[in-house]
């Protein structure tokens, strides 16, 4: 039997290219990875393509067109493991803000002749369309987590990616809590870990780009934000960014509380 290298394919749907760029940003590991696996389809990096099926498919981006609804099914059919990379593929991305409004109106704002466009009313995660084997969070994904996920699937084990919140990462870094000490609104308590608590380390509140943590208590978070004097509109906007269409962040309960501090 021929000892074949496992094959990797990278697919793009509606997205900014940042998550697949993360693979090219693994400068120290990229050439080593390329020796162990066969990069069979990765258009951003090479024009050479190999026909499927593929052992591992990394999928970036969300589904926003009728054509892409069909394409993702073909990707699934061709892939042994399908892993979504990033907030667009995992929860619909920033472009899922259209799901809350009128896509016709958005088209008119940006394009003179909207009739040239064919787009769906919604931006939806890959898991709404096909079964997904693993969802890697982040806007963008973290380089080390990506390497862990690829290594795990190539070795046939489960990726060691925690589902705890950014708060735990802050504690690990011995950060001072920006919310408690400075009254800075921070989504750390409800946000999935993986970035290494970057924002609090840079003296700003977490803005939730990794999406909801396991068992995120969004109601309690909203209450705490209201206590800081964050207005209901602002609370809604805080949740409605790159993971707005995730189930937990979709309809954050907003309540009006007596402001104790002015928000920056």
Partner 1 sequence: MTHRASGSRALSTGALARVEGEGAMHVEIVDGKVADVQLNIYEPPRFFEGFLRGRGYAEPADITARICGICPVAYQMSACAAIEDALGVTVDGPLHELRTLLYCGEWIESHTLHIHFLHAPDFLGFDGGVEMAAVHRPLVERGLEVKKIGNQILETIGGRAIHPVNVKVGGFYRVPSRRELEPLRNDLVRGLEMSIEIVDWVSGFDFPDQEMDYEFVSTAHPTEYPIMGDRVVSDRGLDIDVAEFLDHVEEYQVEHSTALQAHLLERGEYLVGPLARYSLFSDRLAPAAAETAQRAGLGPTCHNPFRSIIVRAVEVVHAFETAIAVIDRWEQPAQAAVEVVPRAGIGHGVTEAPRGLLYHRYEIDNEGLIADAVITPPTSQNQATIEHDLWHFVENHLHLDDEELRQRAEVTIRNHDPCISCATHFLDLTVVRE
Interacting residues toward partner 1 by CB under 8 A: 12-22, 24-25, 27-28, 30-31, 34, 39, 42-49, 64-65, 68, 93-95, 97-98, 101, 103, 105-107, 109-113, 116-117, 119, 123, 139-140, 195, 198-199, 201-204, 207, 209, 234, 237, 241-242
Per the CB < 8 A criterion, the answer to whether 8 and 30 are in contact is no
Q: What is the DSSP letter of 128?
A: G
Residue 165: helix, strand or coil by DSSP? Answer: strand
Count of other CB atoms within 10 angstroms of residue 181: 9
Give whichever of 157 and 174 is closer to partner 1, judged by the CB atom.
Answer: 174
Q: How far is CA 179 from CA 79, 186, 204, in A?
A: 43, 6, 9
Q: What does the alpha-carbon distance between residue 182 and residue 165 come to, in Å, rounded to a whole number?
A: 20
**Structure tokens that stand for 55 in this block:** 């052992």
Give whichever of 44 and 220 is closer to partner 1, judged by the CB atom.
Answer: 44
Count of other CB atoms within 10 angstroms of residue 113: 8
Annotate 185-195 with b (16+ C-beta within 10 A) or e (fewer).
Answer: bbbbbbbbbbb
Give whichever of 3 and 27 is closer to partner 1, judged by the CB atom.
Answer: 27
Pairing of strands 38-42, 79-85: unpaired
Give whichever of 201 and 217 is closer to partner 1, judged by the CB atom.
Answer: 201
At closest approach, how far in Å is the CB of 82 from partner 1?
19
At closest approach, how far in Å is the CB of 158 from partner 1?
26
Give whichever of 111 and 260 is closer to partner 1, judged by the CB atom.
Answer: 111
At closest approach, how far in Å is the CB of 4 from partner 1?
18
At closest approach, how far in Å is the CB of 101 from partner 1?
7
At closest approach, how far in Å is the CB of 163 from partner 1?
21
Give whichever of 48 and 160 is closer to partner 1, judged by the CB atom.
Answer: 48
At closest approach, how far in Å is the CB of 224 from partner 1?
20
Count of other CB atoms within 10 angstroms of residue 119: 17
> Residue with structure tokens 């990069």?
39
Give whichever of 121 and 247 is closer to partner 1, judged by the CB atom.
Answer: 121
Q: What does the alpha-carbon distance between residue 249 and residue 163 come to, in Å, rounded to a whole number?
A: 16
Q: What does the alpha-carbon distance between residue 153 and residue 139 come to, in Å, rounded to a whole number?
A: 22
Give whichever of 83 and 206 is closer to partner 1, judged by the CB atom.
Answer: 206
At closest approach, how far in Å is the CB of 149 from partner 1?
17
> Residue with structure tokens 């920033």?
94
The H or E element containing residue 31 is helix 30-36
At closest approach, how far in Å is the CB of 145 from partner 1?
12
């Amino acid at each position: 039997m021929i000892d074949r290298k496992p094959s990797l394919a990278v697919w793009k749907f509606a997205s900014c290219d940042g998550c697949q760029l993360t693979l090219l940003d693994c400068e120290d590991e990229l050439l080593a990875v390329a020796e162990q696996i066969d990069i069979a389809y990765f258009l951003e990096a090479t024009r050479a393509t190999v026909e499927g099926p593929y052992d591992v498919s990394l999928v970036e981006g969300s589904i926003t067109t009728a054509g892409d609804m069909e394409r993702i099914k073909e990707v699934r059919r061709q892939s042994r493991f399908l892993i979504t990379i990033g907030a667009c593929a995992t929860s619909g991305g920033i472009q899922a803000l259209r799901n809350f409004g009128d896509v016709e109106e958005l088209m008119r704002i940006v394009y003179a002749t909207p009739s040239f466009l064919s787009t769906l009313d919604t931006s939806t995660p890959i898991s709404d369309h096909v079964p997904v084997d693993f969802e890697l969070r982040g806007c963008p994904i973290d380089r080390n987590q990506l390497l862990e996920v690829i290594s795990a699937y190539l070795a046939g084990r489960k990726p060691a990616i925690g589902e705890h919140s950014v708060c735990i990462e802050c504690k690990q870094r011995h950060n001072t809590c920006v919310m408690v000490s400075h009254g800075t609104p921070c989504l750390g308590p409800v946000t999935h870990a993986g970035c290494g608590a970057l924002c609090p380390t840079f003296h700003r509140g977490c803005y939730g780009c990794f999406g909801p943590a396991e068992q995120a208590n969004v109601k309690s978070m909203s209450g705490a934000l209201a206590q800081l004097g964050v207005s209901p509109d602002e609370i809604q906007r805080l949740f409605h960014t790159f993971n707005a269409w995730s189930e937990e962040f979709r309809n954050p309960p907003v309540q009006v509380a007596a402001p104790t501090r002015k928000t920056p």
